[in-house]
Each structure stands twice: as structure tokens, then as C-alpha cells.
Structure 1
Amino acid sequence: MAQIIDGKSLAAVVRARVATEVRQIKAQGGTVRFAAVLVGEDPASQIYVRNKQRACEKVGIEFELHTLPANCRYEDLTALICRLSADKTINGVLLQLPVPPAVVGDRLTEVLNLIDPQKDVDGLTMANLGKLVDGGHGLIPCTAQGILYAIQSVCPDLTGKKIVMVGRSRIVGRPTSLLLTNHDATVTVCHSRTRNLAEHTRSADIVVVATGCPHLLTADMVKKDAIIIDVGINRLPDGKLVGDVDFDRVSKIASAITPVPGGIGPLTVAFMLKNIVAAYCRQHGG
């Protein structure tokens, strides 16, 4: 039976470090402030934002939420993003995704790039993604950091490890593949157009799955003692939350696996907090 990679416990360690850093900043007279922007009333997005608010409050980061209706104008959203980016009292800015297509259309990248790269705690501006490509020191996407942290909790040295990243989204797949490559892993990216997916995953030491397809990765697609990182979170018709991995069966073959829920989700929020403090330090010459 696989070792369960407990994202909640790992995230608690990260949060404790962040809380210590925030206390030190406050002792020096500083205040760490974070602004989240939520467009529309998507229930899942509202839950994610509340989780981020609670996480901020627990470590001493001031949180403010800015909401816009689902029928707002594109110009309303861009004006708000620009105002928050220009506000010197705000250290981090995050646009909760997804944004209603009626608002942004195919211009989401343009909107994200309005965020000051030094305040881009999601790490999704072209400036920060470009630094990741170059191996530089920008703000790294939170989920990618969480995935790396989870993997290194059971496999500290990734040098030469064969990793298959299933999914190529801007938010998870692409930045994660870059980050793992920067840690000297040999990374193959698979996606919806990949032929014979199982041939790739069966040869991997580590498989990371982020597709939004329930139980996509099955036991016959995994080699013995592989490490499995499940980033997916899907709600079945009966209300049960499951990942992109058939956990019950794959866990009998893998050496380590993340659960859903309680795996990468808590780590994503923890590394968002870490990025907020990192953003503060960059803005104050730290």
C-alpha cells in the first residue's frame, strides 16, 4: 500500500514558516496586505476565496476581497486590476479563476498581465512565467510549488527522474513541467492529443495528473512503486469529490500518492501565502 502524502500536514509546516515571517514584519512596523478579485458568483470560486481569506487571517496577512458582477464590463475588471496593482499599500493581487468568458473572452492573458509582476502571487503573468522558463527567480505559480514540495517530501532529489506531466494548462501543467525541469528531472508533457497515454505513464518514476477528468489514471497505467501526484478535483453526480486518479486501485501499486481532497489543494493555498510574503519582501528590498 502506498504512503499517503498528507498535503494538510505539509501545508501546516509552510504556513507556520509564513506566520513567523509575518510576525517579524509586523515587529518592524510593516503590514502585509493581499487583495483578491472575484468576478461573478460561481459557488466553487466563492469557496476557494473564503479558504484563502481564512488562511491569510490565520497567519496575520490582511485580506480584502473585491467583487464584480458576472455581467460587468471588461473595462471594469481591468480598471480594478490596475488600481490594485498601483496601490502601494497592497502587496499581493490575485484574480480568482475562472473568470466568466462573457467578461474576458479570449483576453484573459491581457488581464493577468495588468497585475504588477511583483504583486502577482499566482505567478501567472508573462513576466513571472518567463522567469520560470529562464530558470530565474520570479514568483512561481502556487500549485506548481505545492506539487514540487509534495514530491520532494518523499523524493528529495529529482535529478534524472522520469516524470510524466498529464495536462498542459497555463495554471498547472506548463509551469509545473518547467519547475520540475529546473530541478533536473526529465519531464514529458502529455495532453488530450497524446496518443497511447498509458505507454508514457507506465514508464514514469513520477506521474503528475491535472486534467479535470475523474479517475483518468488507472492502475494498469502505472508502474510499481511510482510516485503519483493527483491535482484534479472533480465532483461526481453523488456529490463525492474525487481526483484524476483511481486512488483505491493505484494506491496498491504506487510507492506514494496524494489524496483528494487533502493533497495538493492545501499546499496550493500555503504557497500562495508564501508568495504574498515574498512579494512584500521584494517590494521592501528584502
Structure 2
Amino acid sequence: MKLLDGKAVSKEILKKVKTDIDHHIEKKHLGYNLSRPSIAIVMVGENAASESYVRGKIKACDKAEINHKVIRFEESISTFELISEIKKLNKSHFDGFIVQLPLPDHIDPNSIINEISAYKDIDGFHPLNFGKMALGQKSMRPATAYGILKLLQHYDIQTNSQHVVVIGRSNIVGKPISIMLGNDFEVGRSTVTSCDIHTPKALLKEESRKADIVIVAVGKPGFLTSDMIKEGAVVIDVGINRLDSGKLVGDCDFEDVSQKASYLTPVPGGVGPMTIAGLILNTYEAWKMKNLIED
């Protein structure tokens, strides 16, 4: 079994993005002096997990030399007030921005995501970007799904004509990765089966045991076991779960699944860093779009 080292692959991607940005700035595209990309990260209230994720995003920005600013609001902010702030960011100098999820219970995340300019939506959640992604058109891609594709691509794991089972149907991971792998992207052209925790256990096991690639994103530690995969399957574990002991684990029974899988993502250090890499790649795309740069 070989580990899919998302941390190492993400590091390579950030280095390349920095080099590409340096190249465009040195070239003085259209005769202009270009500023380095800049993003804003909006945080509402206090959440320990979100603080950790944001620190990771800031570190990645620093490595790619992307300017960043964290904008904080009290948990009591109203939906109307937050939308007003989003509209200001849409008109700001920032090339892109994200609203860190989850939001407080009184704020509907969809009402906020829908207000973000599709051109500054570096998380890739806006309905316009999601729709264009589904149609196979160029767009900001949902960052985690984008990162998974880049990870598969880096390790030269074939997806063309392969059977992929995606366990989990969230808007953030399950739905976009199912669509992207089924589409004609640089990584894709797969036959995709979509399941979730509500799929009858016997049917889920029947489908997952046929799969060449299994992607699990259900938020349940130890959910995927070796009897649910075939010998030599590629397993992408998107889950991040903290046990009572404080240990971080994925949705796989790692020791068990590793006995049968040919490739497996560790947790931490697998999909997490690749999500941030997807965010940085989207930031680079947003910056190029704003400055009319074509590769």
C-alpha cells in the first residue's frame, strides 16, 4: 500500500503557483505593473476548528506569496449585515475571498454564498460556478474536489473508464467530486456511483466492493472497512474526525483498509492540504481573470 501524500503534493503546487505569479509580474502583462494576488478570509464568531483551518490557509498564502487579510465579525451579526459586508468585498481590491464555514445557526450559509461574486468565489461554492463546473465549463472549482483531482493526477492514478464509488453527497465534497470525475476534465471520464450513509448497508457494500476508486466523506470515524473494498482499490479518505482522545482520524479504519488498498490517503496529511491547494489554485485563476491573463 502506498500513501497519497497530500502535504508533499500541496507544497509542490504552492511552489509552482508562486513561480507562475512571479513570471507574470516580471513580464508586465499588457505593460502594467501587476500587484500580487490578495484574498480576504471572513470569519463569524469563534470556532476552534475554523481557527485551525484558517491558520493553514494563511500559511499556504504565505508560501505562495499571496497577500491575505482575515476579517472578523461578532457571532451576533445578522444575515442582512453580513450580506452588506459581502457586497463591499465584491467591490473591493481583493482578487477573491471566502466566508469560513460553519456560520452561526441563525445565518443560512446558502444566502451568504449566493451573494459572493462568482468571479471572487475561490471556494467554488457559488451556484454559477457549480453549474459551469457541472457542464464541464471553466469555472472556480469546489476546492476539496479540485484538490482530490490534483492528487490523483500527481500519482498518475487512472480515472478514465474506472468505476468510482463516492460515499457522501454533500455540496462541498460528494456532489462536486462525483460530477467532476464523471466529466471530461483532465482527470475524469469515470463511471461514478453516488452513495451515502442512508444507502442500505448491503447495497453500499455491494457497490463499493466493485469500485476501482472509493472516496469516502461522511464524517464518521472507522466507517469504511476492508470488507467494503476490493483488493488493490484506491481509497480517498476525506473525513476529519477528532476522537475523545484528541486524535484526528478519517472515515476509514486506517489499519484495516491499508491491508487491502493499493493507495490510501492518511488523515491528517492527505486531502486536507489538497483542499488548501485547490483554494490557492482558484485564487491564482481569479487573479489571472481580473488581470486578463491567459496561459
TM range (shorter): over 0.9
User: Aligned to 2:119, what secondary structure does the other structure show?
Assistant: helix
Structure 1, unpaired ranges of 5+: none
Q: Give per-residue Cα distances to partners, 1:132-178, cap 9 Å, x unaligned.
A: 11110001011001111222333443111000000000111101111
Q: Does 1:133 align with 2:138?
A: no
User: Aligned to 1:101, what secondary structure does the other structure show?
Assistant: coil
Structure 2, unpaired ranges of 5+: none
How far is the alpha carbon of 1:199 from its aligned partner? 1.3
Distance 2:292 2:150 in 1: 26
Partner of 2:10: 11
Q: Does 1:147 align with 2:145?
A: no
Distance 1:95 1:54 in 2: 17
How far is the alpha carbon of 1:284 from its aligned partner? 1.4
Contact 1:154 1:256 in 2 (8 A): no
Q: Give per-residue Cα distances to partners, 1:182-221, cap 9 Å, x unaligned.
A: 1210001101221122111111000001111001001111
Distance 2:158 2:227 in 1: 26
Identity of aligned residues (%): 39
Distance 2:225 2:156 in 1: 22
Change (3 A) 1:25 1:35: farther
Q: Which residue of 253, 277, 281 corresponds with 2:288?
A: 281
Summarize the alignment of residues 49-60 of structure 1 with structure 2, pairs less than 5 Å apart.
49-60=54-65
Distance 1:47 1:157 in 2: 33
Amino acid of the structure 1 residue aligned with 2:87:
C
Distance 2:166 2:228 in 1: 13
Q: Does 1:236 align with 2:243?
A: yes
Distance 2:172 2:116 in 1: 16
Contact 2:41 2:100 in 1 (8 A): yes
Summarize the alignment of residues 188-203 of structure 1 with structure 2, pairs less than 5 Å apart.
188-195=193-200, 196=202, 197-203=204-210
CA RMSD of aligned residues (A): 1.1
Partner of 2:274: 267
Q: Which residue of 207, 216, 225 corresponds with 1:218?
A: 225
Q: Give per-residue Cα distances to partners, 1:96-144, cap 9 Å, x unaligned.
A: 1111112x1xx32221011111111000000000001111000101100
Q: Which residue of 35, 60, 69 corresponds with 1:64?
A: 69
Summarize the alignment of residues 3-152 of structure 1 with structure 2, pairs less than 5 Å apart.
3-27=2-26, 28=28, 29-31=33-35, 32-87=37-92, 89-102=93-106, 104=107, 107-152=108-153
User: Aligned to 1:268, what secondary structure does the other structure show?
Assistant: helix
Contact 2:249 2:267 in 1 (8 A): yes
Distance 2:174 2:162 in 1: 17
Distance 1:264 1:33 in 2: 24
Contact 2:118 2:129 in 1 (8 A): yes
Q: How many residues align?
A: 281
How far is the alpha carbon of 1:25 from its aligned partner? 4.0
User: Aligned to 1:189, what secondary structure does the other structure show?
Assistant: strand
Contact 1:166 1:189 in 2 (8 A): yes
- TM-score of the two chains, using structure 2 as the length reference: 0.93
- TM-score of the two chains, using structure 1 as the length reference: 0.95
Amino acid of the structure 2 residue aligned with 1:95:
V
Distance 1:255 1:187 in 2: 19
Amino acid of the structure 2 residue aligned with 1:275:
N
Moved more, 154-163 or 93-102: 154-163
Contact 2:15 2:63 in 1 (8 A): no
Distance 1:30 1:48 in 2: 29
User: Aligned to 1:100, what secondary structure does the other structure show?
Assistant: coil
